[in-house]
Amino acid sequence: MSKPSVLVSGGAGYIGSHTAVELIRAGYDVVIVDNLSNSEIGAVEGVRKITGVEVPFVEADCCDEAAFRKVFEQYAFDSVIHFAASKAVNESVHKPLEYYRNNLTSFMNVIALMREYGRHNIVFSSSCTVYGEPDKQPVTEQTPRKPATSPYGNTKQMCEDILRDSVGAYEGMKGIALRYFNPIGAHPSALIGELPRGVPQNLVPYITQTAAGIRECLSVFGDDYPTPDGSCIRDYIDVVDLARAHVAAIGRMIEGRSKAAYEVFNIGTGRGVSVLELVRKFEEVNHLKLNYRIAPRREGDIVAIWADPTLANNELGWKAERTLDETLAAAWKWEQHLREK
């Protein structure tokens, strides 16, 4: 019998490439589609090197319906994991139309083509950003969504709704939205990892680039928040653990274990870590000193958010396994590998 096959859109990206690796390790066939707008073909080569599998790659934009249709015509996957999207919160505030066009069009194209070609299961990359600033910690899937504070966050909410309504209406279709907390780290092989373009906006790539001497000094945005050490708190999830959550979600749908056509799961560790704790941990694990200073708060940041991952633990049979030490060591190894290239 042939292996179940999964289309990974955005599979040359940070989370997509790690997910492709874990799918292959779990016995799936994988097809990657990516327009390489914010990723490199090197990530696909990394996936091939790690797995020893010549994963098929199609360079196409999911917004280009005709090009995307060819992928559905050529490959017989029954499931899709849709990563392809623009993801910078701040950029989305300045380019709202680009964000709405790209993130919504590509997602609607995926669903329409799945429907037309009779493909059944889809996992959507959502985000804990849909909870906004939560009233209570940790957040469960029942925690109400708050009005989005950026076009990026709004596209995540809108795509969740499009998915819920579509799988509710189209017989035989199932969908799972995974709400990621803060993905960090890299594959332990250092063959794939995060590739920020320009000045990193996210904490861990900024830390690793500062440690590598590319950035002079890390700014810790705010030490006067109402938290134990005054810096913001997040739930940092290892990207390999996060990738495994997608494998679990696909398995649940393929094996008919879904309890509803549309399901949502928080994907986090359940542990809140402050910015200053993370900085100190990074120094300790990697035996180095990081140049950092306290800077003013960054506009739009929420004070604290961490996950209650109980539902994913029980229903997906998934749990974050990697320690923060391992994750921060992998992030540093990846940064060093990049500099050696």
Residues 141 and 264 sit within 8 Å (Cβ to Cβ): yes
Residues 98 and 38 sit within 8 Å (Cβ to Cβ): no
Kindly indicate which of the ranges 4-12, 49-57, 197-205, 258-266 contains the residues binding ligand UFG, using the contact rule CB under 6 A: 197-205
d(CA 293, CA 221): 9
Active site (annotated) includes residue 180: no
Which regions of the chain does DSSP assign to beta strands (E)?
5-9, 29-34, 57-59, 79-82, 121-127, 174-180, 182-184, 218-221, 233-234, 236-238, 262-267, 273-274, 292-295
18, 187, 234, 333: residue in contact with ligand UFG (rule CB under 6 A): 234
d(CA 124, CA 127): 10
- 3-state DSSP assignment of residue 14: helix
The reply on whether position 202 binds ligand UFG by CB under 6 A is: yes
CB of 330 to ligand UFG, least distance (A): 16
Residue 280 one-letter amino acid: R
109, 127, 154, 327: residue in contact with ligand UFG (rule CB under 6 A): 127
55, 85, 203, 237: residue in contact with ligand UFG (rule CB under 6 A): 203
d(CA 254, CA 2): 14
8, 111, 220, 324: residue in contact with ligand UFG (rule CB under 6 A): 220
| 133 Cβ contact list (under 8 Å, min separation 6) | 146, 302, 303, 305
- Name which of 128 and 162 has its Cβ closer to ligand UFG: 128
CB of 72 to ligand UFG, least distance (A): 28
Of 152, 206, 225, 262, the catalytic one is 152
CB of 2 to ligand UFG, least distance (A): 36
d(CA 225, CA 79): 43
Kindly indicate which of the ranges 108-116, 163-171, 214-222, 239-247 contains the residues binding ligand UFG, using the contact rule CB under 6 A: 214-222
The reply on whether position 275 binds ligand UFG by CB under 6 A is: yes
79, 182, 227, 286: residue in contact with ligand UFG (rule CB under 6 A): 182
Active site residues: 152
Which residues make up the interface to ligand UFG (CB under 6 A)?
A: 87, 89, 127-129, 182, 201-203, 206, 218-221, 232, 234, 275, 298, 301
